[in-house]
Amino acid sequence: MLDHRFMEWLTHQWGKFVFFDAWMMVVAEWNPTVMLVVIFLFTLGFGAHHVQMSSVWIAAGISIFSAFIGRVTNEPVGRLIQRLRPFEAMSFSPLVSHERGDSFPSNHATGAFALAVPFLFVSDYWVILFALALLLVISRMYVGLHFVTDIIAGLSVGMCVALFFSWCIFVV
């Protein structure tokens, strides 16, 4: 299976670049908090050039709401599918400690992209948030917590939910 082969390749990279391993571990743990802090700073006007602040506040609200709805959507799917995390399925220790549990779809991918998408409608803020979201999902795979398909499913849920609510508010 492609997921297993890719994860096997990733785990063979561990230890070759110790600084990169450490950076991925920090990103996997702290990037969701960083994304929320960045959104908070946007709502305070940091980096606001020719941006209507009411749009930033609306995007921030849609982001948080979409992340919540995405998580609520993922819960029954995860319980139904009950996919093991890579470290459980392939019997290795991940780079970061994590409890056992449902891997599919990735709640972190859902949340990260749900937070980023509404800012597509607000100036160039989206670039920063999409970069952080992409970094988060790569790190979650790299440290052994998710398979590629977990990430793809999670980011799809997050993007769809956030696009729907953004469309309802910004377009309609």
Helices 53-81 and 107-116, axial angle in degrees (round to 10):
160
12 is catalytic: no
Each as own residue / partner, the long-range contacts of residues 80-83 (CB below 8 Å, 24 or more positions apart, any chain) are: 83/147, 83/150
Burial of 17 (0-12, 13-18, 19+ CB in 10 A): exposed
Q: Can you tell me the distance from the alpha carbon of 146 to that of 168, in angstroms, rounded to the nearest whole number?
A: 32
108 is catalytic: yes
Q: Which of the following is catalytic: 4, 49, 50, 108? A: 108
Catalytic residue numbers read 108, 146
